[in-house]
């Protein structure tokens, strides 16, 4: 901190945040996670997580590019919705910290309770871990998974074809495809794959109260710690085994479990939401699906669907490490900064008609569905591979598929998605 006055002010706000976690959380232990904390907030603070159909709600659209986010008890937070300022925040790790653990520790969390993985740590630890993980996510390395993803997709399509009556596309296709893919990537035993899928589906849903996601996260991490311990003894050929073989004791069990949890967090529920929502778009706008039926590449359509849907609604919270100006707003050291990725990806600075899907759209700016900067999603290429395989296969196998009801979206979830997607095949 730059001076004692600012440091005291920041510590006061952090103590208030800790009090909120304890006050609204009842008798649960003194733990705090992003999903649980968000679930405690009033509706006036949760509008960045709401949608009007597939579009951002008017409250989000009406905000200036950088505005105060109303939080109780005087906590200073900012919502960033403009494309350029969002890129500026995500791309500047010297001005905005991702180290949530450093701040959470000031309100009484232990190291084991702080978020793991790459998303909530800063350099140099982030640099060290990302350098170890990235070789596993190059296109060359991921190519080995393509035949397996094609087989998983084919198996799920045939299983659906054998079912009577309407089929829940979310449960029977959109969730199993990335779940089985991530399990292949991590090296999860077949008998545990339903369990891993359950962990991921529960952790992003804020509808069951503050501690439902926290319980799922704790269960998931306990399982992954056990899996890491097993692979220390007998390394497999998945991500965990490969990291152990390449780096050995350079990575602690906690770091490995955190990395695996980050892959699970970033790669399963997000891809499942994209598969379900993208399929809904293709069913309700059949002209978009026609090129896929003709066998044309899905690459451009996948990118436009990623931008249009931007299922990760807000990025991990950032904390200003110094006083600064952002698009005319005065951000103070220690302020929380939340970036609306869906707001940025619908910003008119990207071009005209950003509220419609145009697979032939010409733009020089890349979408932010995978984030930007140091914390851009490491699994972006794996997600693209899944979508490019799954959408054409689904459309060609069931060309007359249609929804049988208006699908209900989750009301407030960091990852936007559907509760179910019943379809007639």
Q: What is the pLDDT of residue 6?
A: 38
Q: How far apart are CA 81 and CA 180, in angstroms?
A: 34
Residue 213 banded pLDDT, cuts 50, 70, 90: low
Report helix, strand or coil for 314: strand
Residue 41 banded pLDDT, cuts 50, 70, 90: low
Report helix, strand or coil for 37: helix
- Write down the H helix ranges in 285-334: 286-293, 299-309
| 46-60, 105-119, 248-262: the lowest-pLDDT one | 105-119
Burial class (CB in 10 A: 0-12, 13-18, 19+), 259: buried
Containing structural domain, residue 312: 30-424
Q: What is the pLDDT of residue 12?
A: 39
- Residue 372, both tokens: 């930007």
Q: How far apart are CA 2 and CA 387, in angstroms?
A: 47
Q: How far apart are CA 257 and CA 251, in angstroms?
A: 10
**Greater pLDDT, 1 or 69:** 69
**How does the average pLDDT of the chain come out, rounded?**
83
Residue 223 banded pLDDT, cuts 50, 70, 90: confident
Q: How far apart are CA 385 and CA 368, in angstroms?
A: 18
Q: How far apart are the first and last CA of the chain?
A: 60
- Residue 157, both tokens: 């399509």
Helices and strands (H and E) in the chain: how many: 20, 12
Residues 380-405 pLDDT 10s:
999 999 999 999 999 999 999 999 99
Chain-centroid distance, C-alpha 206: 14
Q: What is the pLDDT of residue 10?
A: 41
DSSP assignment of 250-283 = GS-HHHHHHHHHHHHHHHTHHHHHHHHHHHHHHH
HSE of 422, CA atoms in CB hemisphere, 13 A: 7
Residue 134 lies in a domain: yes
pLDDT tops 60 at residue 37: no
pLDDT tops 90 at residue 177: yes
**Greater pLDDT, 70 or 12:** 70
Q: What is the pLDDT of residue 268?
A: 85
DSSP assignment of 348-410 = GGG-S-TTS--TT---SS---TT--GGGS-TTHHHHHHHHHHHHHHHHHH-TT-EESS-PPBP
Residue 339 lies in a domain: yes
CA angle 395, 397, 402 (to 5 degrees): 55
Segment 42-61 mean pLDDT: 88
- Write down the H helix ranges in 324-407: 341-345, 380-397
Residue 35 lies in a domain: yes
CA distances from 395 to 156, 293, 424, 425 (A): 13, 7, 13, 10
pTM: 0.85
Residues 294-336 pLDDT 10s:
999 999 999 999 999 999 999 988 999 999 999 999 999 989 9
Segment 260-277 mean pLDDT: 88
Residues 132-153 pLDDT 10s:
999 989 888 899 999 999 999 9
Q: At what angle do helices 253-267 and 211-233 cross, to 10 degrees?
A: 130
Per-residue burial over 396-414, b if 16 or more Cβ lie within 10 Å, else e, is ebbeebebeeebebbebbb
Q: What is the pLDDT of residue 294?
A: 92
pLDDT tops 80 at residue 104: no
Domain total in the chain: 1
Instruction: Return the closest-CA partner of residue 273 out of 338, 200, 220, 215.
Output: 200
Q: What is the pLDDT of residue 210?
A: 46
Instruction: Return the closest-CA partner of residue 67 out of 343, 402, 365.
Output: 343
Residue 292 banded pLDDT, cuts 50, 70, 90: very high
Phi then psi dihedrals of residue 167, to 5 deg:
-115, 135
Q: How far apart are CA 97 and CA 109, in angstroms?
A: 18
Write down the residue that tokens 């269960």 correspond to. 219
Q: How far apart are CA 334 and CA 12, in angstroms?
A: 11
Q: What is the pLDDT of residue 200?
A: 60
Residue 16 lies in a domain: no
Q: What is the pLDDT of residue 222?
A: 84
**Greater pLDDT, 30 or 348:** 348
**Partners of 349 in beta bridges:** none
pLDDT tops 70 at residue 40: no
**Greater pLDDT, 380 or 110:** 380
Instruction: Return the closest-CA partner of residue 31 out of 183, 246, 218.
Output: 218
Residue 12 lies in a domain: no
Torsion angle in degrees (nearest 10) through CA of 42, 43, 49, 55: -170
Q: How far apart are CA 268 and CA 255, in angstroms?
A: 20
pLDDT tops 70 at residue 39: no
pLDDT tops 70 at residue 208: no
Residue 203 banded pLDDT, cuts 50, 70, 90: low
Asked if 384 and 374 touch (Cβ cutoff 8 Å), the reply is no
Residue 301 lies in a domain: yes
pLDDT tops 70 at residue 32: no
CATH number at 83 reads: 1.10.630.10
């Amino acid at each position: 901190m730059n001076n004692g006055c600012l440091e005291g002010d920041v510590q006061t706000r952090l103590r208030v945040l800790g009090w909120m976690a304890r006050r609204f959380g009842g008798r649960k232990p003194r733990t705090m996670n992003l999903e649980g904390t968000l679930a405690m907030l009033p509706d006036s603070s949760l509008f960045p997580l709401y949608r009007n159909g597939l579009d951002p709600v008017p409250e989000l659209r009406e905000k200036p590019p950088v505005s105060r986010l109303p939080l109780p008890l005087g906590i200073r937070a900012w919502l960033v919705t403009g494309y350029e300022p969002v890129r500026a925040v995500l791309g500047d790790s010297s001005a905005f910290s991702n180290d949530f653990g450093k701040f959470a520790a000031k309100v009484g969390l232990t190291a084991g309770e702080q978020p793991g993985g790459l998303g909530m740590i800063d350099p140099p630890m982030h640099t060290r871990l990302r350098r170890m993980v990235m070789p596993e996510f190059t296109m060359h390395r991921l190519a080995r998974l393509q035949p397996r993803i094609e087989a998983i997709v084919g198996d799920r399509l045939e299983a659906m074809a054998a079912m009577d009556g309407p089929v829940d596309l979310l449960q029977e296709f959109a969730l199993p495809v990335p779940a089985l893919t991530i399990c292949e990537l991590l090296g999860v035993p077949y008998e545990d794959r339903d369990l891993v899928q359950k962990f991921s589906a529960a952790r992003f849903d804020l509808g069951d109260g503050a501690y439902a996601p926290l319980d799922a996260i704790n269960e998931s991490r306990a399982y992954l710690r056990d899996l890491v311990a097993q692979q220390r003894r007998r390394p497999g050929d998945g991500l965990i085994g490969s990291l152990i073989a390449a780096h050995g004791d350079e990575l602690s069990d906690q770091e490995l479990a955190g990395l695996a949890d980050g892959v699970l967090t970033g790669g399963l529920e997000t891809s499942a939401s994209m598969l379900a929502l993208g399929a809904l778009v293709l069913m309700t706008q059949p002209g978009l699906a026609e090129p896929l039926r003709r066998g044309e590449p899905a690459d451009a359509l996948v990118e436009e669907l990623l931008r249009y849907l931007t299922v990760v609604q807000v990025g991990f919270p950032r904390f200003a490490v110094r006083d600064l100006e952002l698009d005319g707003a005065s951000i103070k050291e220690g302020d929380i900064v939340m970036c609306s990725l869906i707001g940025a990806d619908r910003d008119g600075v990207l071009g005209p008609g950003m509220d419609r899907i145009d697979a032939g759209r010409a733009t020089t700016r890349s979408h932010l569905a995978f984030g930007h900067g140091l914390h851009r999603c490491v699994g972006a290429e794996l997600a693209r591979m899944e979508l490019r395989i799954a959408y054409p296969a689904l459309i060609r196998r069931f060309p007359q598929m249609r929804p049988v009801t208006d699908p209900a979206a989750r009301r407030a979830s960091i990852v936007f998605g559907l509760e179910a997607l019943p379809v007639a095949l």
